[in-house]
Amino acid sequence: MNSRISLNGYACKTVADSSTEDFWSPLLGKRGNITNSLGSLVTLANVEKYPGLNTFGLSLTRIYFTEGGMNPPHVHPCASKIVYLVRGSMYVGFVTTGNKLFAKRINEGGMFMFPKGLLHSQMNVGKGDVVILAALSRQNPRV
């Protein structure tokens, strides 16, 4: 994108140069192949892959899990996260800085929140594949 305007280190378009296409993305529309030993595939729609998110303070992730697959313990130092379980059954949880565990098995339609900067993970504990959507409170939440 050719722009002389930059916010948060990313180019911004003027209103005159913007279109509906700047606010749309097909990033999360295709499943992709799970090829790792963890049995999960994280597809992130952040400002680097979806420039229209710049200044919105949001990003979205779709995670597929094979049976028994997991998203290993990790931290988002700059963002809180909420997950919505589209299909399946997951064991989710986080650990506080005081070493207290908050964990729960959630089923289809359930949600769970992870506070910013805390170690958290998710694991498929049901039968079949699992799909979750995760919204993060930062345009580039980092891991």
Distance CA 102, CA 15 (A): 44
- Per this entry, what is the length of the chain? 143
How would you classify the pairing of strands 5-7 and 10-12?
A: antiparallel
Q: Evaluate whether 12 touches 21 at the Cβ level (below 8 Å).
A: no
- Residues contacting residue 118 through CB under 8 Å, at least 6 positions apart: 75, 94, 95, 96, 97
Q: 120 among the known binding-site residues?
A: yes
Q: 76 among the known binding-site residues?
A: yes
Binding-site positions read 71, 74, 76, 120
Binding-site positions for oxalate read 71, 76
Binding-site positions for Mn(2+) read 74, 76, 120
